[in-house]
Amino acid sequence: MEFFNLPPLLVSFFLLVLLQTSTIAAKKSYIVYLGSHSHGLNPSAIDLQLATQTHYNLLGSVLGSNEAAKEAIFYSYNRHINAFAAVLDQKVAEDIAKHHDVVSVHENKKLKLHTTRSWNFLEVENDGGIPLNSLWNLSRFGESTIIGNLDSGVWPESKSFSDEGYGPIPTRWKGSCEGGTNFSCNRKLIGVRYFNKGFASDTGPLNSSYETARDVDGHGTHTLSTAGGNFVKGVSILGNSYGTAKGGSPKALVAAYKVCWSTDTGDGCFMADILAGFEAAISDGVDVLSVSLGGGIQEFSDDLIAIGSFHAVQNGITVVCSAGNSGPSDGTVLNVAPWMITVGASTIDRLFTSYVVLGDKRQFKGESVSSKLLPPKKFYPLIRALDAKSNNTSSTEAILCRKGSLNPEKVKGKIVVCLRGENSRAEKGYVVAQAGGVGMILANDKQYGDDLSASPHFLPAAHISYTDGESVYQYIQSTKTPIAYMTQVTELGIKPAPIMASFSSRGPNVVEPSILKPDITAPGVDIIAAFSEAASITDLPYDKRHTQFITLSGTSMSCPHISGIVGLLKTLYPKWSPAAIRSAIMTTAVTEANDLNPILSLEKEKANPLAYGAGHVQPNKAANPGLVYDLSTQDYLNFLCARGYNKTQMKLFTNDTSFVCSKSFKVTDLNYPSISMNNLKSEAVEIKRRVKNVGSPGTYVAQVEAPPGVSVSVDPSTLKFTKTDEEKDFKVVLRRVSNNQTEEHVFGKLVWSDGKHRVSSPIFVILRI
């Protein structure tokens, strides 16, 4: 704009508008973190008022008045987490960061859910994917355990949250049902809260539709029912796979904390709301907190999920988190703090299979879920999408079956072969159906290889591999009248299973390589669980289908499997620490599939602990681990000291002025159930560990599978226990014996066995040049 052509008064007006716009744009929401409160674990109403007043005073000293501070602050975390969230301009945020009481200042960042809608771009699953008969020797199915879920809320009417047969809510529960209008809790779904102020600080004022904990996208209902959903008989997915659905801990009590919100531009979970969810869950009294979300890879002191989790663990709550969906590349794993349980995702022994049979009788095995089926063994004309392209459409658009790319005259009554990529898988089928096609074969390109997904299509469909797709294309081009038919069936007992999901994020842990992450893998592909009836099946705007149960995939789905198992163990062993529970889950895991061969990756290569951690979870064995590697808050604080945290950084995690860092503690000495060494050179490295007997008296002998190029010795190599809860120390010495001049990742195993139990720990070593 050329101001010199405008009258002076109008120029002044525009300058004022620009100045105001600039000031507004500069304002963002921040979280000002002050560490822990001094009022202890059970604050009174006066304690809470004083804590909030302290927040007003602090911000008011920078803004010039407490009134201005009250207007800016939208969350005062005044119970367990000492912090406040406020809308501030950058200069104020920088000034307040210099205040002597302020430990750190964080932007209110948006995080994401770790689910991959298998019909769009990601993968999500849920049905407590571990078979019913493999779990239920465990006591009372998790009865009396309270599982909390930070997510997009809950659909309370779901049968998975029926309270039929439940007794009174435990008196120790301090939560409430704050779900909004037309929302009811019961003796199963005992608590609900929603937090949207962080979301509103980014998007602007919200209308009344956001004043609810009701789930509108299905993710929160799916994850919570996976963790603690009740038994529901007669469940099917669009007419496929009839059976009983249940969560990992089906008789547990559950609570939902809605911290994720959907808009026209996508989903978002803002850190200020997530921190409010942590604060509420701790205060309400949950035993387990399931967190199927995450942000970027961050140092623990900058990671508010890690900080919120630390406060929860301090209060005896086991926190279970998704590893992320950024695999299969190395170094992508998220939520890597040692006080969390970090969960990767793998398959189960069930497939929603769709077979393609060509006119020359060749058969190809794909995957799909559809309520519409073609008549059995009836052949239909087969056509490539490229050969059915409409006028004024590029070949690329047609091959991908994009909207408007197909000619109905060429498609009508035929099965169309579309290429995977760019637009969603379900949309491709919709395009074919709209053009009059009777079915779709969805072929992978070379990039996707054998990565298949059972998407809920609009018409009969089969998703096939790249190799099989090439065969289908060749068949079409080699015959004048190509034909095919398709059949759909649910198959059980598939071997090998599990297989690591390609999307599951991999180690090593780039924040702290001495802590192997992920910790464990669990079912996370095509998992059946409850769904929101407010959400369409595919989330596409023209999809009017709704369902009470659906398949999803992702580490969002595997995380609540472990949360449910934690609930079972908490019922059996209510006095066990979060670390002891994690140890039981990790040290009893298996690294073999159901064909007794090593667990594989999707690429049919042997998987390793960077993908699955300690292995695939075994719930019954976790209930009787023999020994556990236990940890206390003091251990975690010493670990942070050993990482070089200064006094200011330590205030993020403790306000205990009596705590003094141990000078002899090394990061590798954290009593973790796995062993990870980042840089083993010529010098021997000694690692300390301690185990506690949680079984009967016995003698355990060390068995070692040394990583290639590494010698491993254990001292002592025999541990004799005479009573329960007795603890024994031992040392593991690693020596490099390889002279290779290339960097290598090598893996081994340490097992303590008394003839009944096998207490197994993976060993991961990076051999550098």
Instruction: Find how far residue 551's CA is from the centre of its chain.
Output: 16
Ordered alpha helix ranges (H), 644-712: 647-650
Is residue 89 part of the annotated active site? The answer reads no
Report CA torsion sign: 444, 445, 448, 449: positive
Listed as ranges, residues in the chain with pLDDT below 50 are 1-25, 117-139
Report CA torsion sign: 497, 499, 504, 506: positive
| Marked catalytic residue, from 151, 284, 303, 468 | 151
What pLDDT score does 17 carry?
38
What pLDDT score does 718 carry?
98
pLDDT tens column, 266-275: 668 999 999 9
Burial label, 675 (beta-carbon count in 10 A; 0-12, 13-18, 19+):
buried
Tokens 């893998």 correspond to what residue?
Answer: 521
E strand or H helix at 93: helix 90-97
Bridge-based pairing of strands 27-36 and 104-107 is antiparallel
For 261, the token pair is: 């919100």
| Marked catalytic residue, from 37, 55, 114, 219 | 219
Phi then psi dihedrals of residue 205, to 5 deg: -55, 140
Is residue 219 part of the annotated active site? The answer reads yes
Among 537, 558, 555, 559, smallest CA distance to 546 is for: 537
* pTM attached to this predicted model: 0.93
**Alpha carbon distances (Å) from 161 to 186, 340, 669:** 8, 26, 43
Q: Measured between alpha carbons, how far is 341 from 279 in angstroms, rounded to an integer?
A: 19
What pLDDT score does 682 carry?
78
Is residue 556 part of the annotated active site? The answer reads yes
387 DSSP assignment: G
| Marked catalytic residue, from 556, 563, 601, 760 | 556
Q: Measured between alpha carbons, how far is 729 from 155 in angstroms, rounded to an integer?
A: 48
